[in-house]
A and B are shown apart, each in its own frame.
Chain A
Amino acid sequence: MDRDMSRASGGIRAVQVAHGRGGASGWSRRLPSLLLRATFAGCLAAGLALAPIAVGAQQARFDTSLVRTFTVAALVTAARTGDSLAGFRASNPATHQRLQGVISRLDRPEVMRLPLALVARPERVTGSTRQARVAFVARAERPANAPGLAEYDGPALDTLAMLMAQELPRALEPLVGEDSTDRLLEPLEAFNFARRGASIAMSLEKLRRYERKYGPGSPRLNGVEVLLNYGAQWLPGFRPNVEGWPGALEVVASYVPMYLTVVDGNGRAIAVAELGLRRYLWNKDFGNSLLKPAYLSLGLAVAGERDAALASPLSGGQRFGAFFGWGEAKIAWIGGSEKRLMFTRQMQLVPWVF
């Protein structure tokens, strides 16, 4: 943090000067701004030699190690410096006010000392952000994810980064050039780098879940289930949500030609129709063993009047019950005149049929 602060200390001093004379007018108002720009340019020139970042022959080059070393204080300082350099107080008062609003929220020691890598999480704004206002963004759910970070600090950080990215580069580049703009906004780049890393992990997690539900290891569907699950895409829980996370549910409507049971000491096979739901378990620890399966299933089980394999359960005199699947292992119980407790394994013998 000390390094962050020292790199931008010229900026901080200058901001304080400018704000101290905020009520002045004419030359007295413009002078601090000009002095500020001169000071910043000097600081940058000196800072380039000292700064712990890789500098190419022609351009400043971002160093990803900064993601670990920069703190919230660096981001706030960059925002303050940029705001002051760009002269937003006079030229863009709405942005100035918004920046100061979120900065005042974050400017607490317990927040300012937090590393950006620790506070960076993918933003969880759902729905259209085209007409988003600060209040809307700040209301977005985002759990406190670091010691010292209060409920609304996360959204405030997102809003600060949003304002910086949306307003500062185009205001600063004509004043100080691309290189200096990039140098000043390095904390923002670091914050976005950390957030993007988290976002990539989020995308890969979504794909892992899609693979669990649809990939080679998932239960195969029969023709009826294909149609029912096509229709279920209109229902929450079955379709992907707005952020693209897959729904955990799937319709089960299958014919199992052989559930196995024991009657009077003899093994017997019984055909059963199942109608229910399959729920996929997203936990990474699950999906690799019988004890920790990739999915559960539950629903109505229907058997015919008599115990028989490959028979139609719907030919009259049905016996009703329930089935429960723990991954591939399934158990079913049917009532009626001849109650049965049966077992089977999830499998598809004839593709798209049963």
Chain B
Amino acid sequence: MIFQDYVFYALAAILLVAGLRVITARNPVHAALFLVLAFFTAAGIWLLLEAEFLAITLVLVYVGAVMVLFLFVVMMLDINLDKLREGFWDYAPLAGFVGVVMALEMASIVGVRHFGVNVTGTPEPHPVNYSNTAELGRQLYTDYVLPFELASVVLLVAIVAAIALTMRRRKDSKYIDPAEQVKVKRADRIRMVSMPAEKEMPENGEGEQA
């Protein structure tokens, strides 16, 4: 084994433990932090694979932005864990069975026998002046321009949907439109009411005296 192998196994072990803890941790904040750890170690593995740009993006975008936001939300919400876990044991046997079967099936395929080095061949390391970022950019804007544009449309739909589902104009809002105020005419505010003139009634006490 060379040095990279040791690094890989160390990172992979941490990744697996972190991933397991994400779904087993009782405290949702801990679960989110374990997810951060999982992202970090995954980025490390990507670095080993010479995907430097993707590794850095994973840390910047997921750890830096998405997970911080996620932690905020988790901390803001009052999540009742006992209620979430209700009925867990009713479904556990069936879910466990399906899960184990799927895991076994996948383990029987995703292994050395089908994806080992002697099947796929050892990947050649890139030359020293190879730029991962430049290559990704070139691919995205030439060969993969259609899916790239489609991804942007998907993001646009996500924005539209998020705004359409959450933005509400409050009924009791006291907001005043300045333009409306400037344009206002006397007639909009004052209503002239023509009333018959009323005779002043003498007050009761005085009437009695008089």
Q: Decide whether A and B are members of one complex.
A: no
- Chain B positions within 8 Å of A, measured between CB atoms, are none
